[in-house]
């Protein structure tokens, strides 16, 4: 129930209004006075803030724990009482004001209006706004070569987070182009960001090469590189297009760095494998002499263990005669050069030339068989060419065995050998038969009385190799043999021939005789 206003109340109110007319608190302390009585002003309420600090561009809420129906509330900047949010009408429950974006520290008050008066709530809240750090990177937009590294460093905050896996304050190998962004956070938790655009150029593919990568000690290698504009080799003893000789055994790596027109670099390596060279094969001699017709003897080459023995038929080593063999596997027919070398893998030692001389035999002819009368001598007529000396054997049959045409005599049929020796030590021989003259009977009486029952020719030793024939008067052959042994008794086809005259022919080498033979029983 409302209290009546007394005159004393009016006097007191008038004095208070005069005293506070020009002060900032006037509106909030005046409770709607009426000439006919006082009205009830809005009640003071508990004001709270959601957080007390934030970063620039922050937003928070100012909360009123309870509101009155019939009262409207506005949120004001306490510095100049400018309205920031509202009015919100009381509903008996709590209210919440959004501050909007804040860029500076601000103190807030809430003005409640209702029941004919305005009342500023007693609780002031202050929201501290921290400035956003100014974050920057040490890099500017740039173009680099793929795989190159950059040093990433940010400043302006206390901690930093980069995208793409970058760690602040370190080198990072660039695997792809794009935007590299860093977020910096200061001690107040305020963040800011900066970024740099990095473009990537893919360098040319550099390739190191060599004309041979596996060589033998003492061989040369030609180096080359491709894919760039300029090149730098390591070791620097190599230059592009240069040949290097390798005297040492082992594996040697060479690296080339190529730079293209964009300044991008690439590297490539090539490894040279240098194998040891085998030694020289062992041989009993390097020149061998044979005579035509000699039985071949292998020529043995030996290895000291540094390689396998290979024989070739030419100096270019394209005609392989023996692989891993130690003997020359060719028949000796003509004079030829052979080459032997020790081989291990792809490496060959110094090859040795082996000369095999095949010498011609001397040409000798002893002549035809010679017939002589018992107790007499006969002259021999040997012929010889390409000889250094000659020799007749048996020597006791001739008066001089070392000449072509000595005098010869013998007591029986004798084979004489005429031998010539060439200056190369080759021998050749020919033979003749020294025979007594043949005596041929011209009569036989095959009556089994033991006298002239068969046809007699003497000596039989001189008939060796002679052909004996008998013909009738009409020229028909009735007997023939090449090994007559004084056995013919005047038969033909096993039947006795009639008595009469018949004809014989005896043919030997160096002797021929023909005559009449009479059969008389």
Q: What is the pLDDT of residue 331?
A: 61
Q: What is the pLDDT of residue 215?
A: 93
Residue 12: what are its φ and ψ, rounded to 5°? -65, -40
Greatest CA separation for the chain: 223
What tokens were used for 52?
A: 């007390």
Q: Is 237 exposed, middle or buried (0-12, 13-18, 19+ CB in 10 A)?
A: exposed
Residue 17: what are its φ and ψ, rounded to 5°? -65, -45
Distances in Å between the Cα of 66 and the Cα atoms of 40, 76, 116 are: 17, 18, 20
Split the chain (521 residues) into runs of 10 and give each run's mean pLDDT: 40 39 38 43 79 81 87 91 91 88 88 88 86 93 90 94 94 92 93 94 90 93 93 92 92 94 90 93 89 81 89 90 70 80 90 90 92 85 94 94 93 90 94 88 92 92 90 94 94 93 92 92 83
Q: Which residues are within 8 A (CB) of 311 and not within 5 positions of it... i.e. 6 or more apart?
A: 301, 320, 321, 322, 325, 327, 328, 329, 338, 339, 340
Q: What is the pLDDT of residue 222?
A: 95
d(CA 162, CA 218): 57
Instruction: Name the 3-class secondary structure at 84.
Output: strand
Distances in Å between the Cα of 125 and the Cα atoms of 75, 410, 456 are: 11, 164, 173
Asked whether 402 and 338 are in contact (CB, 8 A), the reply is no
What tokens were used for 123?
A: 């609780």
d(CA 513, CA 508): 9
Q: Helix, strand, coil shares of the chain as percentages rounded to 5?
A: 5, 45, 50
CA angle 49, 53, 57 (to 5 degrees): 105
Of the candidates 167, 166, 183, which has an alpha carbon nearest to the alpha carbon of residue 175? 166
Residue written as token pair 């109340």? 9
Sign of the C-alpha dihedral computed for residues 95, 96, 99 and 104 taken in this order: positive
Asked whether 67 and 73 are in contact (CB, 8 A), the reply is yes
Asked whether 468 and 485 are in contact (CB, 8 A), the reply is no
Residues making up the chain, counted from first to last: 521
Q: Is 471 exposed, middle or buried (0-12, 13-18, 19+ CB in 10 A)?
A: middle
The DSSP H or E segment spanning 62 is strand 61-64
R_g of the chain, CA atoms, integer Å: 70
d(CA 235, CA 272): 13
């Amino acid at each position: 129930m409302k209290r009546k206003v007394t005159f004393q109340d009016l006097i007191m109110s008038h004095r208070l209004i005069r005293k506070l007319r020009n002060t900032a608190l006037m509106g909030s302390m005046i409770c709607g006075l009426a000439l006919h009585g006082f009205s009830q002003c809005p009640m003071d309420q508990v004001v709270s803030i959601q957080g007390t600090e934030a970063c620039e561009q922050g937003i928070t809420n100012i909360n009123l724990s309870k509101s009155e129906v019939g009262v409207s509330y506005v949120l004001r900047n306490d510095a100049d009482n400018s309205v920031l949010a509202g009015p919100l009408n009381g509903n008996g429950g709590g209210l919440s004001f959004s501050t909007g974006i804040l860029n500076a520290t601000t103190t807030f008050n809430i003005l409640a209006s209702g029941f004919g008066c305005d009342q500023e709530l007693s609780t002031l809240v202050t929201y501290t706004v921290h400035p956003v750090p100014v974050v920057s990177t040490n890099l500017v937009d740039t173009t680099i070569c793929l795989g190159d590294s950059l040093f990433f460093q940010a400043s302006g905050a206390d901690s930093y987070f980069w995208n793409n896996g970058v760690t602040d304050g370190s080198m990072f190998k660039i695997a792809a182009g794009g935007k590299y962004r860093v977020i910096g956070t200061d001690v107040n938790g305020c963040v800011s960001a900066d970024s740099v655009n990095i473009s990537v150029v893919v360098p040319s593919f550099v390739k190191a090469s060599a004309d041979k990568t596996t060589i033998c000690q003492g061989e040369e290698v030609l180096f080359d590189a491709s894919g760039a504009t300029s090149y730098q080799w390591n070791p620097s003893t190599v230059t592009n297009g240069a040949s290097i000789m390798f005297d040492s055994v082992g594996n040697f790596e060479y690296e080339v760095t190529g730079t293209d027109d964009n300044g991008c670099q690439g590297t490539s390596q090539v490894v040279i494998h240098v194998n040891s060279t085998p030694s020289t094969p062992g041989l009993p001699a390097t020149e061998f002499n044979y005579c035509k017709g000699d039985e071949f003897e292998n020529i043995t080459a030996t290895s000291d263990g540094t390689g396998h023995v290979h024989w070739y038929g030419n100096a270019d080593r394209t005609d392989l005669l023996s692989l891993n063999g130690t003997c020359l596997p060719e028949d000796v027919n003509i004079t030829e050069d052979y080459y032997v070398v020790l081989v291990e893998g792809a490496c060959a030692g110094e090859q040795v030339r082996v000369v095999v001389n095949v010498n011609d035999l001397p040409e000798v002819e002893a002549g035809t068989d010679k017939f002589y009368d018992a107790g007499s001598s006969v002259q021999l007529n040997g012929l010889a060419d390409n000889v250094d000396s000659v020799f007749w054997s048996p020597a006791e049959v001739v008066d001089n065995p070392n000449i072509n045409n000595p005098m010869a005599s013998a007591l029986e049929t004798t084979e004489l050998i005429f031998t010539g020796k060439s200056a190369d030590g080759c021998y050749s021989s020919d033979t003749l038969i020294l025979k007594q003259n043949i005596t041929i009977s011209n009569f036989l009486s095959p009556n089994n009385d033991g006298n002239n029952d068969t046809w007699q020719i003497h000596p039989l030793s001189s008939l060796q190799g002679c052909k004996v024939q008998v013909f009738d008067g009409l020229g028909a052959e009735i007997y023939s043999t090449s090994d007559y042994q004084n056995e013919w008794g005047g038969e033909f086809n096993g039947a006795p021939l009639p008595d009469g005259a018949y004809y014989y022919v005896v043919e030997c080498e160096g002797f021929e005789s023909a005559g009449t033979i009479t059969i008389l029983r």
